[in-house]
A and B are shown apart, each in its own frame.
Chain A
Amino acid sequence: MTASYETHEYDVLIIGAGGAGLRAAIEALAHGATVGVVCKSLLGKAHTVMAEGGVAAAMANVDPKDNWQVHFRDTMLGGKKLNNWRMAQLHAMEAPDRIRELEQWGALFDRTDKGEILQRAFGGHTYKRLCHVGDRTGLEMIRTLQDRGVQMGFDVFMECTVTKLLRDGDRVAGAFAYWRESGRFVVFKAKSIVIATGGIGKAWKVTSNSWECTGDGMALAYEAGAELMDMECIQFHPTGMVWPPGVRGILVTEAVRGEGGILRNKNGERFMEKYDPKRLELSTRDVVARSIYTEVREGRGSEHGGAYLDISHKPAEYVKRKLPSMYHQFKELADVDITAGPMEVGPTCHYVMGGIKVDGETTATSLPGLFAAGEAAAGMHGANRLGGNSLSDLLVFGRRAGLAAAANAKKVGMPTIDPAQIEQAEREALAPFQLTGGENPYTIHQDLQDTMQNLVGIFRNEEDLNKALIELAKLRERAAHAKVEGSRLFNPGWHLAFDLRAMLAVSEAVTKSAIARKESRGGHARIDYPNYDPVWEKKHNVIVKQGNQMARNEWPSPEIPEELQGILAEDSK
């Protein structure tokens, strides 16, 4: 095989073109950097496009009492105080400006009677805080950012997958990638790299995530020597579709509950009265997901093993206007008219609060020159994310990542890349074609999904988690021998072989961290340790590569300053 690849140089290379990546690109361009954006799909198709219910910002358009302090407190309490306090603070303070900016770039949010941006209620938010466009908020955001970025002039490498980060000594120097279409290789040299690759939902069987969410960025950063944090904190969204089987896991927006939807079990009981009598359906996601799961486990589930979610008490026209895509989704995919009767819903793997460990101000990772933002980064959401806080996270920390990456690029020179690194990356990329007799990567992926679903799911215990580690080791061995048929031209089997490697590494990090955290907190629920442990409120699991081993360390949470502690102590409302 001849060594052949094209090379591109940028001040700032951004991996991932969802909300965080695009917002980072815009900011880096605004500060004079040359910017390349590389993404696995076509531009505008990233997972952000699926976000539905809204973007959280304390604009106080509907509830005048809202302010950043309350948003900060809601975020920290929702995250069970495992959040990086500085990120939660910056996020709450800056989100309103980021929304106004989007509006000034052409986004059209739904309006109040006074002509302001309309805001709706969501779980865990004290006030009506989610700016939205019906139930297609993510589409509006990604289109706005995409148009803005294209106008400002970044280079986009669409349908291009990064398989390895390259280093120059102790700093990041570039990335090795391949074009999905042709299978040809690309080498990027960059002074700064921003990882904005999203989450890891595809490691689970029932998930709301698109095919792209395979933990690539986390695995790339880990392999290059950066740290991962809070990986045990996985969010199972309470309401995914459960029937028919083909649609299992597809998201049912929290806006259904925000607009007044009621959850009932098969006996018609409004079971949230039992689990969170104060907030009911608008409790935080971790609580609602576990409540539905418990109802099902105790025999009170709906016909196909979920709960009933009903919005049909609202006028049909209102439902169709505020939740148009939910109306169509159920009508077309499940033969259910949600204006006339309840939908069946159940938990679905939705989001990872953990990710690459970053500095709260700059999004810098422990590897010089490498930054991370959005779902790929850890800290902002602690142990449980509030609905709507992800879209605002993308904007706030996407911008900060672009800013810091551009500033770094001004300080450092263009790195040099040892050709031996590139040759090795090539060899690794082509290895699956050389194998004979190995397995089809699809089979291994299905087995991984079963393992994570059954053993590292919504409720966990030590025995299952240990079993999962053993299974993951076997899967890694099988994946190392996965065989790819056909040519390098747009070959999904080959593509999956890379995704699988990333998913396996990240799944191991999740499982190792889950074993260590011997308590229940937010998205990490242990049957064998059902309560909070105050000791674990003050520390984090950190995963790092040592030699060829995955090592776990503990990192103490930075002390929360007194004035912010005061905000946390205040009663809400």
Chain B
Amino acid sequence: MAEATLRVFRGGPEGGGATDYKVEVTPGMVVLDAIHSIQAHQAPDLAVRWNCKAAKCGSCSAEVNGKPRLMCKTRMDSLPLDQPITVYPIKSFPLLKDLVTDVSWNYKVNKKIQPFTPKPNVEWKMYQKDIDRAQEFRKCIECFLCQNVCHVLREHDLHDHFGGPRFFVRSAGLEMHPLDGADRIPMLREELGIGYCNITKCCTEVCPEDIHITDNAIIPLKERVVDRFYDPLTMLFRKFSGK
């Protein structure tokens, strides 16, 4: 049976480094299986988040050979086994221990978004063609890989001014809900800082749910912000109406 070496980050906020573990590779094995095997036989205190092991909960995000992935969806036989497989925590959030990071910032950002607010006296009927768009955004499993690769967060650390792709996706799901009556455009501009996004599509590339984050969520929202705040006619109207 083939053997693989996993080079796993061990440590916490004060520091740490990679430790090598040898693991037997079985057919169909995924990286999360290998991590579990290390826990069971070599390092019972190796910290990792996971829940379903079926790519439905989005808990086991990590950087495998430098690429942000769900460990439960990354097959060992898709990786070169002649060199160590590196497994590191996602980078955009503060490290807690080993592969576990502090993602609580995301829950704080989420609270800024006005929840679903039905239009007054709405009739609860919707047609499939009208909800297809919003349903795409509701596939999000909150793995936060998009947040992890977003330059605005990863390189520029603008966590205080920017919401990140995950919350543009959530906002898009609400804004494009056919029966929603709230207006989140000012919030997107001011609080979630959607203007910082320069549509490099890194988020879309890593989405395990294949949500077209940039094309279907961010760009349409940016257009709505622009129409509202930067359209010359609207600006003129706003100036005179005082709105």
- Of A36-44, A469-477, A516-524, A530-538, the segment with at least 4 beta carbons within 8 Å of chain B is A36-44
The answer to whether A486 touches B28, judged by C-beta atoms less than 8 angstroms apart, is no
The answer to whether B51 touches A212, judged by C-beta atoms less than 8 angstroms apart, is yes
Partner of A42, one of B45, B49, B128: B49
Contact residues in A for B52 (Cβ distance below 8 Å)? 45, 47, 49-50, 210
- Of A25-33, A245-253, A400-408, the segment with at least 4 beta carbons within 8 Å of chain B is A245-253
The answer to whether A108 touches B138, judged by C-beta atoms less than 8 angstroms apart, is yes
Partner of A133, one of B45, B110, B138: B138
The answer to whether B54 touches A108, judged by C-beta atoms less than 8 angstroms apart, is no
Partner of B26, one of A114, A147, A244, A490: A244
The answer to whether A115 touches B125, judged by C-beta atoms less than 8 angstroms apart, is yes
The answer to whether A44 touches B131, judged by C-beta atoms less than 8 angstroms apart, is no
A459 within 8 A of B: no
Partner of B30, one of A150, A333, A443, A492: A333
Minimal Cβ-Cβ distance residue in A for B131: A108
Residues of A53-103 at the interface with B, using a CB-CB cut-off of 8 Å, are: 100, 103
The answer to whether B44 touches A150, judged by C-beta atoms less than 8 angstroms apart, is no
CA distance A115 to B30 in the complex (A): 41
The answer to whether B110 touches A210, judged by C-beta atoms less than 8 angstroms apart, is no
Interface string of B84-121 (1 = CB under 8 A from A): 00000000000011101001100100110001101000
Minimal Cβ-Cβ distance residue in B for A335: B28
The answer to whether B126 touches A329, judged by C-beta atoms less than 8 angstroms apart, is no
Partner of B57, one of A45, A140, A493, A496: A45
A446 within 8 A of B: yes
The answer to whether A244 touches B28, judged by C-beta atoms less than 8 angstroms apart, is yes
Partner of A446, one of B40, B51, B138, B174: B40
The answer to whether B75 touches A332, judged by C-beta atoms less than 8 angstroms apart, is yes
The answer to whether B128 touches A111, judged by C-beta atoms less than 8 angstroms apart, is yes
The answer to whether B126 touches A45, judged by C-beta atoms less than 8 angstroms apart, is no
Contact residues in B for A484 (Cβ distance below 8 Å)? 44-45
The answer to whether B27 touches A245, judged by C-beta atoms less than 8 angstroms apart, is yes
Distance in Å from the Cβ of A119 to the closest Cβ of chain B?
A: 14
B204 within 8 A of A: no
Number of A-B residue pairs at CB separation under 8 A:
156
Residues of B100-154 at the interface with A, using a CB-CB cut-off of 8 Å, are: 100, 103-104, 107, 110-111, 115-116, 118, 124-128, 131, 134-135, 138-139, 141-142
B29 within 8 A of A: yes
CA distance A110 to B177 in the complex (A): 13
Given contacts A106-B115, A106-B116, contact A441 B44 (CB under 8 A): yes
Interface string of B11-53 (1 = CB under 8 A from A): 0100000000000001111100100000111001111111111
The answer to whether B131 touches A111, judged by C-beta atoms less than 8 angstroms apart, is yes
The answer to whether A442 touches B126, judged by C-beta atoms less than 8 angstroms apart, is no
Contact residues in A for B46 (Cβ distance below 8 Å)? 492
Residues of A137-153 at the interface with B, using a CB-CB cut-off of 8 Å, are: 138-140, 143, 147-148, 150-151
The answer to whether B73 touches A332, judged by C-beta atoms less than 8 angstroms apart, is yes
B165 within 8 A of A: no
B164 within 8 A of A: no
B214 within 8 A of A: no
Interface string of B51-73 (1 = CB under 8 A from A): 11111111100000000000001
The answer to whether A50 touches B54, judged by C-beta atoms less than 8 angstroms apart, is yes
Interface string of B159-184 (1 = CB under 8 A from A): 00000000000000010010010000
The answer to whether B51 touches A133, judged by C-beta atoms less than 8 angstroms apart, is no
The answer to whether A106 touches B44, judged by C-beta atoms less than 8 angstroms apart, is no
The answer to whether B59 touches A45, judged by C-beta atoms less than 8 angstroms apart, is yes
Contact residues in B for A328 (Cβ distance below 8 Å)? 55
Distance in Å from the Cβ of A50 to the closest Cβ of chain B?
A: 5
CA distance A489 to B126 in the complex (A): 49
Contact residues in A for B134 (Cβ distance below 8 Å)? 108
Residues on A facing B (Cβ under 8 Å): 41-47, 49-50, 100, 103-106, 108, 110-111, 114-116, 133-134, 136, 138-140, 143, 147-148, 150-151, 158, 181, 210-212, 243-247, 250-251, 325, 328-329, 332-334, 440-443, 446, 484-487, 489-494, 496
15 of the cross-chain contacts (CB-CB < 8 Å) are: A45-B58, A103-B124, A105-B116, A133-B138, A143-B138, A181-B97, A245-B29, A247-B54, A251-B54, A442-B40, A486-B45, A490-B97, A491-B45, A492-B44, A493-B45
Per CB-CB distance, the 3 closest pairs between chain A and chain B, nearest first, are A244-B28, A106-B116, A486-B45
Q: A50-B56, A147-B115, A210-B51 are in contact. List 14 more A-B contacts (CB 8 A).
A: A100-B124, A108-B131, A115-B127, A150-B111, A210-B53, A245-B27, A246-B33, A332-B75, A333-B75, A440-B40, A442-B41, A484-B45, A492-B47, A493-B45
Residues on B facing A (Cβ under 8 Å): 12, 26-30, 33, 39-41, 44-59, 73, 75, 96-98, 100, 103-104, 107, 110-111, 115-116, 118, 124-128, 131, 134-135, 138-139, 141-142, 174, 177, 180
